[in-house]
Amino acid sequence: MIFNKKSEEYNSLVKRKEVEFEIGHVNEGTPGRSDVILCLASEYKVKKEVIVLKRIVTESGTNTTSGYAEIYDNVKRLRKFIQEHIRKRSITSN
C-alpha cells in the first residue's frame, strides 16, 4: 500500500490530528479498516488505539482508497470525544 497524505491539520482544542488521505493499492485487494488503521499507525508512529477512522471510500474500478481519520494525542482524549459505538468499531476492526 502506498500512503499519500492529502491534508493534515492539528486541532489544538481537541488535541488531535485531522488527516485526509489516499492509499494506493495496485496489484492488491481493497484494504479493510484494520489495514488502513495499521497503515496510519505506521505512518504517524502512533498506537492504533488512538486512531479513529471516520470515512473510507474506494471508488468502483479504482486502485485508490480515500478517507478521513482523527489521530488523538492519547486514549483518554479519544474517549472524551468519540462515542462508544465508534470506538468499538475501531477496536473490533483491528
The confidence score (pLDDT) of residue 28 equals: 86
Domain residue spans of the chain:
2-92
Strand partners, 4: 22
Q: Are 18 and 70 in contact (CB under 8 A)?
A: yes
Q: State the fold for domain 2-92.
A: Alpha-Beta Plaits (3.30.70)
pTM over 0.85: yes
The confidence score (pLDDT) of residue 64 equals: 93
Express each pLDDT in 2-50 by its tens digit.
999 999 999 999 999 999 999 999 888 888 899 999 999 999 999 999 9
Q: Tell me the pLDDT band of 69, cut-offs 50, 70 and 90.
A: very high
Give the long-range contacts of residues 24-31, CB within 8 A, separation 24 or more: 24/63, 24/64, 25/1, 25/63, 25/64, 25/65, 26/2, 26/63, 28/1, 28/63, 30/58, 30/65, 31/1, 31/65
